[in-house]
Amino acid sequence: MIPEEILRFLLTLAIIMMINFVFFSTCNYFDCYQVNFMNLFRTNLICNGCTSLTYHIMNYQMGIYLGLGAYFTSSLKKIFDEITSKII
């Protein structure tokens, strides 16, 4: 059985990947990554919204990644402390 902490960690990563995939597919469907007149002068409102949402989601994801990294580091420290206390 997978521990609950690892399951939450994997679920968080899966949700992040799913959100990235959905936004990338949507922006790609509306040709927001193409260099054309509409995108060059920012007249396509859907692409403007897509770019804005992608930026904000990236900022939230950086916070999530940093939080997961801090949690992972503290978990490793606890494991190392337990091992060293058994050795000494």
CA dihedral 62, 67, 71, 72 (to 10 degrees): 0
Nearest to 24 by CA among 57, 71, 72: 57
pLDDT over 90 at 77, yes or no: yes
* All structural domains of the chain with their residue ranges: 4-87
Percent of the residues in the chain that have a pLDDT greater than 90, as a whole number: 45
- Runs of H (alpha helix) within the chain: 4-29, 37-40, 45-87
pLDDT digit string (tens) for 10-53?
A: 898 899 889 989 999 999 999 998 998 888 888 999 999 998 99
